[in-house]
Amino acid sequence: VLVCGDGLVVLVCGDGLVVLVCGDGLVLLVCGDGLVVLVCGDGLVVLVCGDGLVVLVCGDGLVVLVCGDGLVVLVCGDGLVVLSMWRRSCVVGVCGNGLVLLVCGDGLVVLVCGDGLVVLVCGDGLVVLVCGDSLVVLVCGDSRVLFVYVYGGVL
């Protein structure tokens, strides 16, 4: 145990565990298997694992999970979940009210609401709107607008 005058405390155990405590509330915990836990006085918690996994937890309920394969998961206290896959260039957003937003790098956007509303937007200007009451609206962006209504199975 090493205690310095500025409030710094370093604890090193024989199994590779290192605990660093600073006077400003910073706590650094390092385990021999590559696990690193960083706790700040403002409620920020950073968890780093040796396989590239990083977990960031803030005091306001924000959680950021980063995996080594480019996957990012963002969880907010209001139930918002955002998945971002860098390699696939895909972003998935899930809100607590049942809203799902899927954005892919090729310009495809899929919006799904809890009430059965589905919005599909493609990069070529194609928009498909599907409502829970069997209503389908198709809008094309090639200088013509095509509305296709499917209601009750009748076109």
Residue 4: which residues within 8 A CB-CB, separation 6 or more?
none
Average pLDDT, stretch 41-47?
Answer: 65
Summarised one tens digit per residue, pLDDT across range 90-142 is 666 666 565 666 666 666 666 666 666 666 666 666 666 666 665 555 556 55
Residue 73 pLDDT grade (very low, low, confident, very high; cuts 50, 70, 90): low
11 phi and psi, to 5 degrees? Answer: -120, 120
The pLDDT, as a whole number, for residue 155 is 36
The DSSP call for residue 122 is: -
Domain range summary for the chain, segments of one domain joined by +: 1-68, 78-155
